[in-house]
Amino acid sequence: MVEKEEIEFSKILVPVAGTTADEGAIELACKLSRSKKDLCEIYAIHVIPVERSLPLDAEDSTKMDAAENILSNIESIGQKQGCPIETEMMQARDIGPTIIEEAKKRAVDLILMGISYKQHFGLFCLGDVIPYVLENAPCRVLIDHQLQSKL
């Protein structure tokens, strides 16, 4: 029999997209963090996708403002929950690889993502970010799917 290892996290990466699912994911991360003796490091990143037609260095101030709002909202949730959250803003062509790269760079041991209920042509759909992360993640991945009624 395999020895059951203690599941414990010290660094959590929470990609946020600005949807209602973010709050739940962050709250869950904070809960995990507080269940430990000393708090986890929680990183929240928001990736602004850049269209292929634009150069990668293009600056779009409206998108940045929106991103700032998302991140400051995340920070204030963290403050309420008593966990400091480090936030970062990135821009990239693809969101999935960016998340994986960031997770590797920061050597996190958990990626926690919130998803909201989506239907694509009448079928349940995860989008393309989550499958990519699940496929390539260097660590554990938690997907937080909230109650249907809550959404």
- Chain contacts with another protein (rule: CB under 8 A): 47-48, 56-59, 61, 64, 67-68, 87-93, 97-98, 101-102
Q: How many residues does the chain have?
A: 151
In the complex with another protein, the residue whose CB is nearer, 35 or 79, is 79
Amino acid letter, residue 151: L
Cβ of residue 73: shortest distance to another protein, in angstroms? 11
In the complex with another protein, the residue whose CB is nearer, 64 or 107, is 64
Query: In the chain, what is the straight-line distance between the N-terminal and C-terminal CA atoms, in Å?
Result: 41
Cβ of residue 119: shortest distance to another protein, in angstroms? 29
Amino acid letter, residue 51: E
Alpha-carbon distance 58 to 13, whole Å?
26
Residues sharing a CB contact under 8 Å with residue 54, sequence separation 6 or more, in sequence order? none
Cβ of residue 71: shortest distance to another protein, in angstroms? 8
Which backbone phi and psi does 110 adopt, to 5 degrees?
-155, 135
In the complex with another protein, the residue whose CB is nearer, 19 or 73, is 73
Cβ of residue 90: shortest distance to another protein, in angstroms? 5
Query: C-alpha dihedral over 61, 65, 67, 69, to 10 degrees?
Result: 180
In the complex with another protein, the residue whose CB is nearer, 13 or 47, is 47
